[in-house]
Amino acid sequence: MSPRAYRLGRREADTEKTRARIVAAARRLLLSPRGFAESSIDAVAREAGVARMTVYHRFGSKRGLLQGIFDDLAARGGMSELRDVFRNPDPLAALSEFISVFTGFWTSGRVVIRRLHGQGVIDPALGEALREREERRREGLRVIVKRISEKEGRPRAAAFDDAVDTLFTLTSFETFDSLARGKRRPPDVTALVHRLALAAIRGEPPRGGNKPS
Amino acid sequence: MSPRAYRLGRREADTEKTRARIVAAARRLLLSPRGFAESSIDAVAREAGVARMTVYHRFGSKRGLLQGIFDDLAARGGMSELRDVFRNPDPLAALSEFISVFTGFWTSGRVVIRRLHGQGVIDPALGEALREREERRREGLRVIVKRISEKEGRPRAAAFDDAVDTLFTLTSFETFDSLARGKRRPPDVTALVHRLALAAIRGEPPRGGNKPS
DNA sequence: AATCATTTATACGTACTGTCTAGCCAAAAG
DNA sequence: CTTTTGGCTAGACAGTACGTATAAATGATT
């Protein structure tokens, strides 16, 4: 009747290893040209050298597995550097670093992130989960923009949201994925985005009488 | 043996009607909250009041159906106005109109386009088909940027590709979809994008010594 | 040695895609 | 009017995938 006390102890390391193996296998399959088509739970389990049921025990569902992959990417992909960014006293420099960090992150898991985002559009629940994680990026940008406007003294009201949302868009994966093509390497993308970002926070109205109709 | 000559004549109108009914039904289902989950071929056929086999006869596969939906959107969504845009002698004004036309297009089919793009990421073949259709947008921007640089005399070499790709990104569905949130209506998005677009073609280097690291 | 959590093996149920075949129907061709 | 043609339909089938249920095997913990 009374359950006996039981801690995993040494076993915990093993279970973490299987979990990692599954995530790694899924990531590998997601990278393949056929992408999602090859990433059935069955295929992932085989690639990881594990039974199909184990995947369900660890992640509950395919959705859970995909969320696990994303979190794994975020953990490895240099997101930890964000702490340092906000320690920078110069907010404009912080913005620069912020952009660099995310360019790096998108680069590190480009194909996988692209597929995850795609699936996030198809599966509303997964999309919501991914969007939740992205909101931290927006929150970070709010802090930076606030500091900039305090320092430079530009307190226009609606302009604040415009600046934040614009920067959020400019630092999004989709923008990166669209710009990083042809001969343009990640640092070049960073430079491009940086220029646009400065234009966005400068907030000057268009001159020359070419108002959008 | 020798097949008799046969033209559809009046029947053609009927077949076009069924085709339209199927596309409309699919679009309707794609709009529903559950989105793709409810858009099985079977469900589409039922919604259109048509047999499942008919859908296969018309579109060949689910992929074909989705391509059909996209083409249908482009045909209805004001893409025809693009002709007029390029008749505008002032290239900067043309750019303005170009942005407006696409903001309008993205607005008109926002949810459906979002789901199609998502599926385009999952299904490489569909993705290629969609990308092909998008290349016309890039081509149009090349023309506009060329005219601008001729008029304003800014012949920097690499800057040309940068300007085109940046404008392509700024006028993409993803940018629109990211910016059009909260209280921001489509015209506001147009204005935001327009400002950034001008910054992009102006091509000034960032000042103030905040180079991206 | 008893207990517990992880992992496995196997079988089901359900849903969807895509193919095939045979047949129905109305418009076109003769 | 009769025959032909092509779009549409009906039903069955194979293949694949997700998710669930159940019982059992494994090996560390107590």
Burial class (CB in 10 A: 0-12, 13-18, 19+), B17: exposed
pLDDT in tens, chain B (213 residues): 567 888 988 889 999 999 999 999 999 999 998 888 899 999 999 999 999 999 999 999 999 999 999 999 988 887 888 999 999 999 999 999 999 999 999 999 999 999 999 999 999 999 999 999 999 999 999 999 999 998 877 656 679 999 999 999 999 999 999 999 999 999 999 999 999 999 999 865 544 444 444
pLDDT of residue A205: 53
What whole-number percentage of chain A has pLDDT above 90?
Answer: 77
Cβ-Cβ contacts under 8 Å, B161 against chain A = 182, 184
Of A35 and A49, the structure prediction assigns the larger pLDDT to: A49
Predicted pLDDT at A53? 97
Do the Cβ atoms of B165 and A172 come within 8 Å? Answer: no
What is the structure's pLDDT at B110? 96
Range list of β-strands (E), chain B: none
The per-residue pLDDT for B19 is 97
A179:B198 CB<8 A: no
Instruction: Answer yes or no: is pLDDT of A5 > 90.
Output: no
B40 touching chain A per CB within 8 A: no
Smallest Cβ–Cβ distance between A121 and the set B37, B114, B184 belongs to B114
CB of B51 within 8 Å of a chain A CB? The answer is no
Predicted local confidence at residue B209, as pLDDT: 40
Task: Decide if B172 touches A, using CB distance below 8 A.
Answer: yes
The answer to whether strand D lies under 7 Å from the CB of residue B7 is no
Per-residue model confidence (pLDDT) at position B204: 57
Task: Read off the pTM.
Answer: 0.91
When the pLDDT of each residue in chain A is averaged and rounded to a whole number, the result is: 90
Helices (H), A38-90: 41-48, 52-59, 62-76, 82-87
Question: Residues 94-153 of B near strand D (Cβ < 7 Å)?
Answer: none
Interface of B with A in 118-137 (CB under 8 A): 118-124
A46 Cβ within 7 A of any nucleic strand D atom = no
Q: Looking at residue A211, what is its pLDDT? A: 45
Query: Distance (Å) from CA B118 to C1' C13?
Result: 30
CA-to-CA distance for A166 and A162, rounded, in angstroms?
6
Rounded CA-CA distance A9/A99 in Å is 41
Sign of CA dihedral B13, B17, B18, B22: positive
Q: Which residue is nearest to nucleotide D27 (CA to C1')?
A: A11
CA angle B120, A177, A47 (to 5 degrees): 65
Q: Does A140 touch chain B (CB under 8 A)?
A: no
